[in-house]
Structure 1
């Protein structure tokens, strides 16, 4: 019941079919940690400060984007933002998202605003200016404007498992996203929205008294509505099922159809899709952006060689954005994520008012959050360190902050580290478990670590505190094994 480590090296391809350049190190380290991490249920929440997910692209906000419509239309690059705004409004009009009606006396219209972002490629270069009109869903009233809101997305575990399976079976993986996906769902409730900024100028509507009495009656779903994602998910789910696809029992956002050579797999993450087969049936129903062979999804770079049946995933661009965000570009690299034998406990939390005030200036939560997405995506080698750091989000101390910065120093030397799936090894599942008996020095609970591998590389890893205190190392091992085989 000991977790095995493997290290591989592959040649990173810089052109299709041409392997050369630097080596990429692939690591499958121990899954032991000290903080409960449900990687299989990982979700990425939008953040105006660091990250945004648009059309399957993960963007680090290293360049400032406008916060408001007025700022976007008056700054130096206003022409690019105006084009993006006009494109979004035209798309909404063509889709018949609303119709202009007099403001009803019995309804309170929902406000709206513009959200701006820069879309980047796998090298972090800006490829598109994006403007999105979103409703101010926080003003909606439950039971009147909406009912249910939950909608699923694919687990990162599922995405990795799909990539491993495709490398083993030589399946081509293509990527596409649905243009203005949330606008396809029809609303069952009656919703009204204020006129968006820029609409009057685009339609050349005359300024007149009483213009505030004109509102948009929403006919289709819109970004920002509390139930928009659920409406979209129900729409795409219904269409995929009509094409003969069935959702997997373990993940409702992974759809399969057929068997053997006729098998087709669709992995859905909001409006972004990984498709291992044809996508014509989806294009018939929705306007999609065909992105060709999958190279970049959710900040994860995909690099594969069909002849060798190897597929590598990494997050170099995202790693570099973390290093830059915390100003560690010129720091001394570390060889390990944590110093050997280091113990982080509650005793290291700030005790005096002076220490507490000092730590308020440290963006500790932002640091741990940035590292956590990296650990959940392609870097199990830092998952133990991130797990330990995550225990002190409420009251971090100077020692905790220093340990987190040292993880960033480790990333300086390991930007290209990721995971590679060797399809020639087959899809036999390998499972490993281990336990750190009484690893939590504060309450003496043990840690269960599990690692599942396909094609010789990790697809699932998790570290969780055991619910009860194990009385012996043997008991802790059996509890970890039980968690692994569930």
Structure 2
């Protein structure tokens, strides 16, 4: 569901004046200004005021917010439940009962000017695939990836099997060293390309998390080697744009984590890179690749730091899922796998 002119629903606590809109003023009122009664797009507090208004309305309908992620709400009615996800002015609803779903839609429509878009198929560039007969749900970004490839002139590029070549190295020595080289690199939309790749990585593509994170370290002064490696990631996406995250219906739901680390692969700082991924219902639900803040003196230390970071996120994820009250296996100890015996 989509909320029309969402920010106008928010009340403002401050006294704010604005210049009259263009073509609104008359000759007799040019010296006058407007006093805002509602929040509008562009105010620093607009998003916050809209959230406070929505929270007030939805909690009055017996929804409870997830204290770990306050844009997710849950309501139980006997054995039936409904989950509401709010993303700015977009609302996703998932319920175990059709009647409860329609009741919630009617309530929201009575409080806000809403547009019911029906079953969710595309959300924020993510395509939702359903196969109810087999109990399978998939998430992909083929259309988004096609747009990215077209935007950077890579629609007809030769596909690659991997996002990064074995033995590839990244260093500040590959960055421009003088103003002439920096000026030459301005021809390439490096930052825009990395940002576009990062959105795909965050949403549905954990397989490019490492390389996108690595390339992101050179946004302030990228070199030609970095640009070529970014194009290779696009070539990999050309081959794998049909890939999707897949989740299967299961009576046994358990979150399982996997942790890994390289060792001192950052040539500039000698720091290692941690990586983790958490699985639920047969698919990845959370992942990250990040440079460690400490310098490890051994592979054991690097792996142990990675396990620590994975454990921190695992605790957050466990608390988040516990708030949903629909995963029984979450009461068991959280399993995190590491491929280093010493760690």
Q: Settle same-fold status: TM greater than 0.5.
A: yes
Structure 1 residues 429, 282: CA separation in 2 closer, same or farther (over 3 Å shift)? same
TM-score by length of 1: 0.60
TM-score by length of 2: 0.84
- Distance (Å, rounded) in 2 between the aligned partners of 1:261 and 1:281: 20
Deviation at 1:213, TM superposition (A): 2.5
The residue number in structure 2 matching 1:421 is 247
Deviation at 1:196, TM superposition (A): 2.2
Unaligned ranges ≥5, structure 1: 1-175, 201-206
Instruction: Note if 1:311 corresponds to 2:311.
Output: no
The residue number in structure 1 matching 2:146 is 320
The residue number in structure 2 matching 1:348 is 174
Structure 1 residues 419, 358: CA separation in 2 closer, same or farther (over 3 Å shift)? same
The residue number in structure 2 matching 1:186 is 11
CA deviations over 1:332-387 (Å, ceiling 9, x no partner): 11111111221111111112443222112111111111111011111111111101
- Distance (Å, rounded) in 2 between the aligned partners of 1:431 and 1:397: 35
The residue number in structure 1 matching 2:113 is 287
Instruction: Note if 1:368 corresponds to 2:194.
Output: yes
- Distance (Å, rounded) in 2 between the aligned partners of 1:399 and 1:261: 57
Structure 1 residues 220, 348: CA separation in 2 closer, same or farther (over 3 Å shift)? same
- Distance (Å, rounded) in 2 between the aligned partners of 1:288 and 1:335: 44
By relative contact order (CA 8 Å, sep 6+), the higher-ranking structure is: 1
**Are 2:170 and 2:266, in contact at CA under 8 Å, matched by a contact in 1?**
no
Deviation at 1:198, TM superposition (A): 5.2
Deviation at 1:257, TM superposition (A): 1.7
| Shift >6 Å, 4+ stretches | none
- Distance (Å, rounded) in 1 between the aligned partners of 2:236 and 2:307: 31
Deviation at 1:476, TM superposition (A): 1.5
Deviation at 1:331, TM superposition (A): 1.9
Matched residues, number: 304
Unaligned ranges ≥5, structure 2: 96-100, 313-343
Q: RMSD of aligned C-alpha atoms?
A: 1.7
Deviation at 1:260, TM superposition (A): 7.5
- Distance (Å, rounded) in 1 between the aligned partners of 2:37 and 2:260: 54
The residue number in structure 2 matching 1:458 is 284
Instruction: Note if 1:235 corresponds to 2:53.
Output: yes
CA deviations over 1:144-170 (Å, ceiling 9, x no partner): xxxxxxxxxxxxxxxxxxxxxxxxxxx
**Are 1:425 and 1:456, in contact at CA under 8 Å, matched by a contact in 2?**
no
Quick check: which one's strand share is greater?
Answer: 1
